[in-house]
Structure 1
């Protein structure tokens, strides 16, 4: 294994979590390639190769549209989220692409101060090594929960 790439990838996963948790949406969007895929899908549908997903976005334009919706049009009970992401597991590696996975847990805390486990699963990623650094070409967030509490607003 290439330790330098592994450390870059580990840092990349932590930056991703920090951007989402801090609502740094411009930085979050820049972590993706222009023609990216971002999908949040139940484990059952993923394992059965069914297309149904809780959220499915294609390209940076759709990511930007989602963030516009979150920040400008969706009204919801405010909450904070905090990601805990495992060390990545590299499944295949070329100079241009990294196929990898990492487990995640997302905790949600509402203004009443009660923290809940919101979503648990794994990222299935294809990361492109670009001149501007690592970028997500494809991220499938496969969640283990049978249901998502209330509604899915923020990215996982």
Structure 2
């Protein structure tokens, strides 16, 4: 069971994560994670069959910071905005150190000179750790429903 105050912190973590990405505050993204963490973007079929292949896979906050550097300083692409719509997290398991939860998400993409389109839809499968700095993602798996991603995946999901 999770208490109300902790559930409110969990909702805030999910909302602040989406807002940082939607507002293109990519430098904040790694701070939502513990130092030793896992972040993967993986097709549903691979996830459900236990296959390790992922579209993106990072294994530390340092790797997330490297990705932010790459996105902001070295990758050239048509600019676009993202908008995350995230469902209410469903609590799967709770103990003294961790919360396991999942939530559905939809990410919309808008290019300045084009109409908005659905970019990626799936669910987050999360392990959240209680830390002295508050709740942090220890593991975030972005399990997307389609086997394909339009164009390339630049920004975090």
Q: Which residue pairs with 1:69 in the alignment?
A: 70
Aligned residue pairs total: 156
Q: 1:85 is matched with which residue? A: 86
Residue in 2 aligned with 1:133?
134
Q: d(CA) in 2 for partners of 1:150 and 1:65?
A: 22
* Partner in structure 2 of residue 115 of structure 1: 116
Say yes or no: does 1:31 pair with 2:32.
Answer: yes
Per the normalisation by structure 2, the TM-score is 0.97
Q: Separation in 1 of the partners of 2:28 and 2:97?
A: 22
Deviation at 1:115, TM superposition (A): 0.1
1:113 CA displacement: 3.5
Deviations 1:31-54 (A, max 9, x none): 100001000000000000001100
Cα drift, residue 61 of structure 1: 1.1
State the distance in 1 between where 2:149 and 2:37 align: 24
- Measure, in 2, the Cα distance between the counterparts of 1:104 and 1:72: 28
Q: Distance in 2 between matches of 1:5 and 1:105?
A: 25
Q: Secondary structure at the match of 2:47?
A: helix
Over aligned residue pairs, what C-alpha RMSD do you find?
0.8
Q: Does 1:142 align with 2:150?
A: no
Instruction: Give the TM-score normalised by structure 1.
Output: 0.97
Q: Secondary structure at the match of 2:70?
A: helix
TM-aligned CA deviation for residue 95 of structure 1: 2.3
Query: Could you list the per-position Cα deviations for residues 99-135 of structure 1 after superposition, in whole angstroms to 9, with x for gaps in the alignment?
Result: 0000000000001140000000000000001010011
Structure 1 residue 147 displacement after superposition: 0.7
Quick one: distance in 1 between partners of 2:74 and 2:28?
20
Alpha-carbon offset, residue 26 of structure 1: 2.4
Give the superposition deviation at 1:82: 0.2
Listed as ranges, the gaps of 5+ residues in structure 2 are none
CA distance in 2 between counterparts of 1:128 and 1:12 reads 11
